[in-house]
Amino acid sequence: MSTASDDMPFLILTRAGFDDLVARIEQPGAVLMLNPGIASDTELARLREAGANVHVLSSPIDSAQQANLDAVLGRPAWVEHGAAALGPSAPPAEPERMPEERSRALHRRLAGAVGGVVGTFATHAFRRLSRLGQGGQMMLLPYFGFGNTGKLWIKGRVLDEVDFREQTQHDSSWHNLVALYRRLESDEVAGARVVARFQGQVLETQTDRGGYFSFEIVPAAPLSGGWHEVELELPDSATRDGQTVRAVAQASVPAATARFGIISDIDDTVLWTNVTNKLNMALMLARSNAHTRKPFKGVAAFYRALSAGASGQDENPMFYVSSSPWHLFGPLVDFLRLQGIPLGPLMLRELSPSQMLKLTSHGSHKLDKIEQILGYYPDMQFVLIGDSGEQDPEIYTEVVRRHPKAVRMIYIRNVNPDPARIDALDRLIAEVSATGAQLILAPDSVFAASHAAAEGLIHVDRLADVRSDKREDDKLITTKA
């Protein structure tokens, strides 16, 4: 059993599964997620003393969800059943339609992150997941870019991967898990040539070790506000019908009418993820999709109001900065569209699946991305929006220290009632106020919108929309509950 802290977590649903798995654990370091009530406090304490990372879920996973697993796979995939299936009476199925080299590489990646029973279970689980695909091909995946009248920045990734099926609100928890797994376990292509074409210019670069590429394009003529398209292609690759792999990247340039920009966090600011608990966040992502995830109440109308500005037609640009991995770009864009939240460039994180539960450089990543955005708009002020759960207040205060004239307002959603955290926020509020900017601790979107209207950031008529949006979200959450 590996002792690494990034071992994949075991989800234990029943007492029988608990007894079976615990009997196999020989060394500390295992990550165990348990349905409530299947183990006593004494047993949990004993496991923790032995070095296991034990987490009891706040609510149980019901039996209907387990039935979905049986229907999809022909056998359960959770650890209590996966461990039992390791015996000779139930040999694992071999992967189908999986290129041999890709299969070996992924098996090594899974087994390398974990050992013993964990590694074996992970490998078998991957084999079952792989049967649901039809094999991969080269994929050119552009992200949203941005720029100003004289320069554009474009980023994307090249993958050797199966196409991602569009998810729906009717997808089961297992189908959501499979979709998440496919995105996180994407096969990057290093050293691939990528060509970009824009306004008659032809630029070329190569992907890095993670399969990522980027272009900084200086146009021949000044750009107008709005979205601009950059043609991309992989000259050394072809689709199944023999055509060159192509895609179109979109890059946003702020309108001339824009009065300020908005930079927002995503996790626990726009989208409820419980980011302060990485294991529960991973489970939430696995059990939901863009159709079923919950936005914070009123946030959609508030962001539309900020984008429209005081005149209602300002077209203030939106930017999203998050510690979520680039693998989740598609689902996050789908979420924004479905919720009617203004689209804008997403600055996400280059992150391997084995690191997803230990986001150690959260602050550095966000600060670097904000610095990159500010560098493109030296004459624009920004409204920064985040939450108090992690480091957003500290990051935004550091932005104020470095660029005191660039920050007009900071809105922080208060999600951490710890008195020590409140005291720390009070100190940051005082520091920011000394520069002439404001850091506002807001309990919800209606409070933030009321303050924004008083400060002339949004039109006062938009307050009714935010209140109405919050009421509709309340009804939706009550109905789902």
CATH code, 246: 2.60.40.10
In a domain, 386, yes or no: yes
In a domain, 439, yes or no: yes
Reported as half-sphere exposure (CB side, CA atoms, 13 A), residue 388 has a value of 24
| 319 plus 446 within the same structural domain | yes
| 238 plus 284 within the same structural domain | no
Q: What is the pLDDT along the chain (481 residues), one digit of tens a residue?
A: 333 334 445 677 788 778 777 766 554 566 677 778 888 888 887 887 777 767 776 556 654 444 443 433 333 334 444 333 333 333 333 333 344 444 444 344 433 333 333 333 333 333 333 333 344 578 899 999 999 999 999 999 998 865 444 444 444 444 544 555 555 555 788 999 999 999 999 999 999 988 999 999 999 999 999 999 999 999 998 877 788 999 999 999 999 999 999 999 987 777 655 444 444 444 444 444 444 445 567 899 999 999 999 999 999 999 999 888 888 888 888 888 888 999 999 999 886 544 444 444 456 889 999 999 999 999 999 999 999 988 999 999 999 999 999 999 999 998 888 889 999 999 999 999 999 999 999 999 999 999 999 999 999 999 999 999 877 656 554 444 4
Q: Report the predicted TM-score, pTM, of the whole model to 2 decimal places.
A: 0.66
Provide the sign of the torsion angle of the four alpha carbons 307, 309, 313, 314, taken in this order: negative
In a domain, 29, yes or no: yes
Q: How is residue 32 annotated by DSSP?
A: E
| 275 plus 397 within the same structural domain | yes
Per the CB < 8 A criterion, the answer to whether 166 and 153 are in contact is no
342/303 Cα distance (integer angstroms)? 7
240/101 Cα distance (integer angstroms)? 19
91/285 Cα distance (integer angstroms)? 30
| 288 plus 411 within the same structural domain | yes
Q: What is the CA radius of gyration of the chain?
A: 24
Question: Which of 111, 130, 149 is a domain's end point?
Answer: 130
| 309 plus 445 within the same structural domain | yes
Between β-strands 439-442 and 407-413, what pairing exists: parallel, antiparallel or unpaired?
Answer: parallel
Q: How is residue 255 annotated by DSSP?
A: -
Show the CA angle centred on residue 276, arms to residues 273 and 278, nearest 5°: 75
Q: How is residue 354 annotated by DSSP?
A: G
In a domain, 2, yes or no: no
In a domain, 4, yes or no: no
Per the CB < 8 A criterion, the answer to whether 32 and 47 are in contact is yes
**439: Cβ contacts below 8 Å, ≥ 6 apart:** 393, 396, 397, 410, 412, 425, 428, 429, 432, 433
123/146 Cα distance (integer angstroms)? 40
CATH number of the domain that 359 lies in?
3.40.50.1000
In a domain, 357, yes or no: yes
| 399 plus 381 within the same structural domain | yes
Neighbours of 161 (CB within 10 A): 23
Question: Which of 184, 219, 253 is a domain's end point?
Answer: 253
426/410 Cα distance (integer angstroms)? 13
| 195 plus 281 within the same structural domain | no
| 458 plus 363 within the same structural domain | yes
Per the CB < 8 A criterion, the answer to whether 399 and 375 are in contact is no
Residue with token string 């209207």: 453
| 282 plus 218 within the same structural domain | no
Question: Which of 206, 237, 253 is a domain's end point?
Answer: 253
In a domain, 5, yes or no: no
In a domain, 154, yes or no: yes
114/123 Cα distance (integer angstroms)? 10
SS3 120: helix
Per the CB < 8 A criterion, the answer to whether 123 and 190 are in contact is no
**243: Cβ contacts below 8 Å, ≥ 6 apart:** none
119/439 Cα distance (integer angstroms)? 47
| 288 plus 396 within the same structural domain | yes
423/427 Cα distance (integer angstroms)? 7
What pLDDT is recorded for position 16?
Answer: 78
- Report how many domains make up the chain: 3
The encoded tokens of residue 116 equal 């013993």
| 356 plus 382 within the same structural domain | yes
| 372 plus 295 within the same structural domain | yes
Per the CB < 8 A criterion, the answer to whether 337 and 329 are in contact is no
SS3 254: coil
123/111 Cα distance (integer angstroms)? 7
**326: Cβ contacts below 8 Å, ≥ 6 apart:** 143, 157, 212, 348, 349, 350, 351
| Residue ranges of E strands in 255-406 | 261-264, 318-325, 346-349, 382-387
Residue with token string 């980027």: 214
Kindly give the residue spans of alpha helices, DSSP state H, lying in 288-391. 299-308, 329-339, 362-376
> For 443, phi and psi rounded to 5 degrees?
-75, -25
Q: How is residue 271 annotated by DSSP?
A: B
397/439 Cα distance (integer angstroms)? 9
**Domain carrying residue 18:** 10-130
